[in-house]
Amino acid sequence: MKKTYYSVLFALLATATQAQGPGATTTFKSIEAEAGSLAGGAAIRTMTTLPTQPTPELEASGRSFVELNATNESVSWVNNTGITANTIVVRGSIPDAPAGGGTTATLDLYVDGVFRQAITLTSKYSWQYGSPQGWADNNPADGTPHRYWDESRAFIQGVPIAPGSTIMFKKTANNTASFYYLDLFDLENVGPAKTQPANSLSITDFGATGGDTTDDSDSIMACISACQSQGKLMWIPAGNFYTSKAINASGITISGAGMWYSNLYRIIGGRHKWSLTNCTLQDVYVFGNETARDLAHGHDYGFTIQGANGWLVQRVWLQNVGAGFWCSGTDGTIKDCRCSNDWADGINLNNGSSVQPDNAGLRLTCQNNYVRGCADDGIAINAQNGGGTAGNMVDTKVLNNSSIAIIYANGIRVAGGRNSLIQYNYVADNADLSGVVLGTFGTAGNPLESATVKNNTFLRCGGFRSTIQGAIFINNGTTGTVQENLVVDASNKAVAIANFNVSVVANVVVHPGLTAFYINPGSVGSASITNNTAYNLNSGQVPFKNDATTTFTPPTLTGNSWQQTNTDVTFYQNVIYGGTASQSLPPATYTSAQLAAKGVQNDWASSVRVPNGRQVIMYSGDNFTGTSWTVSYDTPSFPDLTPNANDQMSSCKVIAVTPAAAIFSRDAQAAAAPAPDNGTVHYTIYPNPVGSLLYLNGMHKGANVRIVDIQGKQMINTSTNGVVDVSMLSPGVYLITIDHNQPMKFVKMN
């Protein structure tokens, strides 16, 4: 994700999230547009204050983007993803037509300075107007534009883009849009199309044609009927197939050749959702063709998925449909899927609107999915008035998902349910309400009887309507636990509480816009707020505030950072700062024997408190050898580091850093060899501000380092083994990018 200029802690996502493993593991890697080198007058546009209505900056990933609005303006990057890319997805925006309805234009792609191909962008599926909560107005005259972004995908023409190649987007005379906004692009190496499996029937055997735009609905329904009667799989081969009708299937497996090969396009005119009961669906792509959120403009579900006997959805990509995946039933799993710019929820796990055996909402799992740019909750648990056990959903799991740049509602919503688990998710840059909201669905939905929200990362969460809400918002009588989450650069409050009975335990909040932990006026309920950390607060803000002193049971407040007086590092025998505590460790290097003298036995520590102005590098071996972990703030659970650091430390270094500019990390690396390139990001920089030598933690040997000034001009491009000489730079603010990872801001002093 991208920076916000108001936060010196810009790199927190890059260093902190991957250690706990939040978010989806994907086959693609994203490169943020503003991490590139600008030329010809190209500019970076960045949100500096939270607006009161949608803007393209607010809806962008990282709340920044690159603008090209004149011929010969360009932006370029080195492909340091490690991927030999044969596909690209561009998240961009071009102008609407004067009367609405969108325009189409190309943007030229160059590889190593040579024109490669024109990428087609369109605004047909973006640009809504009128109320920011309205999604069925395509008339520019109604003002208040929103839904600025869409995604275009393409195979790379010619040879794939090799690692180390330079990628450039340039506005040439052939590119006719008056402006091109570039948010990010994804690079991926897509393997060959899958082949037809045994015991299957192909939709082409029943008349479907993949090389034209004719309606294939009847052919597909005939194939489904035959598969159901013969007990066979349904095969969707590579090609573009079109459907205009609602399609139903039960008890079969539907397989495609892959998300880049088997493409299903919806024809607008009537209901066109697919409804699958007790089915397996895998390896297809669906383009909804929806241009507004009403039936006249094509609004309908991507898939409704239900069944009492279990179901599975995997490796399915939906774009510009209504609500993407609407999932109920029993023992269902949706995993490894993608949602792009859907017009409602990306993934909704629910129990139906009435009691039906196929809609029970029992033991549903949503895991390792990637949702971006949707116009309602990215991922939702939606316990309505339908089935379940004792009238509620039970044992729902939302694990290791990414919910990015959701433009309406919340990154994740937990509305009702019993024994729900929301863990290891990554939520960033939602434009409207909260990163996660806990409560009920309206006034009639089932209660949220119990939920655990744990080990998630929330970056820059809280949008233009989030004034009374926080990055985490707890409401509507919620009962549960909010534990060990990381909240960074919340737009307003970090954790806001209203009407609940919950434990808030060992969460880490860094640089919230307003109060870190806040009880809203008029709230009712009770809370235990223990062992939390609030770090780098804005001037005039406080870590905790209770504005419901007359209505809310006085909360239990123990062990929180604002209640601590120690200014040095303390290790603990158990997680969440439990068990025996060590003596205080001031800045120094500590061998195993020296740690023992401080009360830290070998392979003993399970958590650590790191006050503002300190950074700790822990080593699994004595004398600073073996695997290392760098932590720069309170870390309540070493088992959640990667690799597992629990009872592993044999030596450590405690470093003094500039408090206001500390770079936070929960990273790990092997001292003897670099970690494998798996798309994660593990580095920190110090000191910051810097005079001459900038040190980099977490680097592999020969890592590429590029430093640009705030206007995007490249100042340094080199390789490093851990230190960069920046003495020749003039005083000011710079961005450093290491390999393909997100840029970090640092300040150069005299």
CATH code at position 50: 2.60.120.260
Average pLDDT over residues 605-627: 93
> 176: Cβ–Cβ under 8 A, 6 or more apart, which residues?
105, 106
Nearest to 77 by CA among 29, 128, 130: 29
For residue 419, CA distances in Å to 169, 198, 362 come to: 48, 40, 11
Residue 320 lies in a domain: no
Residue 475 lies in a domain: no
More reliable by pLDDT, 451 or 712 = 451
pLDDT at 678: 33
In the block, residue with structure tokens 């449909």? 321
Of 131, 158, 188, the last residue of a domain is 188
pLDDT at 476 over 60: yes
pLDDT at 514: 96
> 70: Cβ–Cβ under 8 A, 6 or more apart, which residues?
40, 41, 171
For residue 509, CA distances in Å to 9, 12, 512, 515, 532 come to: 12, 11, 7, 10, 8
* Exposure class string for 55-86: b at 16+ Cβ within 10 A, else e: bbbbbbbbbbbbbbeeeebbbbbbbbbbbbbb
pLDDT at 324: 98
Cα–Cα distance measured from residue 640 to residue 629, given in angstroms and rounded to the nearest whole number: 12
pLDDT above 90 coverage of the chain, percent: 77
pLDDT at 667 over 50: no
Cα–Cα distance measured from residue 478 to residue 482, given in angstroms and rounded to the nearest whole number: 11
* Exposure class string for 515-539: b at 16+ Cβ within 10 A, else e: bbbbbbeebebebebbbbbbbbbee
Flag the least confident range among 11-20, 453-462, 705-714: 11-20
Beta-bridge partners for 738: 705
> ω before 687 within 30° of 0 (cis)?
yes
Residue 344 lies in a domain: no
In the block, residue with structure tokens 């062990």? 559
pLDDT-derived band at 480, boundaries 50, 70, 90: very high
- Using only C-alpha atoms, the chain has a radius of gyration, in whole angstroms, of 26
Cα–Cα distance measured from residue 94 to residue 148, given in angstroms and rounded to the nearest whole number: 8
Mapped onto helix, strand or coil, the DSSP state of residue 18 is: helix
pLDDT-derived band at 716, boundaries 50, 70, 90: confident
pLDDT at 707 over 80: yes
HSE of 359, CA atoms in CB hemisphere, 13 A: 18
pLDDT at 220 over 90: yes
Residue 349 lies in a domain: no
> Could you tell me if 53 and 144 are in contact, meaning their C-beta atoms sit under 8 angstroms apart?
yes
More reliable by pLDDT, 425 or 443 = 425
Residues of the chain by 3-state class (helix, strand, coil), percent to 5 = 10, 40, 50
Reading the block at residue 131, the tokens are 């109320």
Average pLDDT over residues 174-199: 98
DSSP, residue by residue, 513-556: SS-SEEEPTT--EEEEEES-EEESPPTT--SEEES-TTTBPPPE
Q: Is 540 exposed, middle or buried (0-12, 13-18, 19+ CB in 10 A)?
A: exposed
Sheet with 578-581, side-by-side order of all strands: 578-581, 570-574, 607-609
In the block, residue with structure tokens 């509305």? 415
pLDDT at 203 over 70: yes
Average pLDDT over residues 317-339: 98
Of 188, 218, 244, the last residue of a domain is 188
> Could you tell me if 581 and 572 are in contact, meaning their C-beta atoms sit under 8 angstroms apart?
yes
Residue 127 lies in a domain: yes
HEC profile for 134-183? CCCCCCHHHCCCECCCEEEEEECCCCCECCCCEEEEECCCCCCCCCEEEE
Residue 16 lies in a domain: no
Flag the least confident range among 49-53, 496-500, 728-732, 739-743: 739-743
Query: Which residue segment(s) compose the domain that 149 sits in?
Result: 28-188
pLDDT at 702: 63
Residue 714 lies in a domain: yes
pLDDT at 663: 35
Average pLDDT over residues 503-521: 95
Cα–Cα distance measured from residue 57 to residue 526, given in angstroms and rounded to the nearest whole number: 38
Beta-bridge partners for 243: 266
Mapped onto helix, strand or coil, the DSSP state of residue 504 is: strand
Flag the least confident range among 63-67, 79-83, 314-318, 676-680: 676-680
β-strand pairing of 166-170 with 104-111: antiparallel
Cα–Cα distance measured from residue 364 to residue 594, given in angstroms and rounded to the nearest whole number: 50
Cα–Cα distance measured from residue 631 to residue 618, given in angstroms and rounded to the nearest whole number: 8
> Could you tell me if 448 and 477 are in contact, meaning their C-beta atoms sit under 8 angstroms apart?
yes
Q: What is the CATH number of the domain that holds 652?
A: 2.60.20.10
Of 136, 163, 188, the last residue of a domain is 188
Residue 686 lies in a domain: yes
Average pLDDT over residues 654-680: 43
pLDDT-derived band at 536, boundaries 50, 70, 90: confident
Flag the least confident range among 455-469, 633-647, 675-689: 675-689
Cα–Cα distance measured from residue 5 to residue 688, given in angstroms and rounded to the nearest whole number: 15
State the CB neighbour count (10 A cutoff) for residue 541.
Answer: 15
> Could you tell me if 379 and 371 are in contact, meaning their C-beta atoms sit under 8 angstroms apart?
yes
HSE of 163, CA atoms in CB hemisphere, 13 A: 10
pLDDT at 701 over 90: no
φ and ψ of 284, to 5 deg: -140, 165
pLDDT at 711: 59
The total number of structural domains in the chain stands at 2
pLDDT at 233 over 90: yes
Mapped onto helix, strand or coil, the DSSP state of residue 12 is: helix
More reliable by pLDDT, 702 or 103 = 103
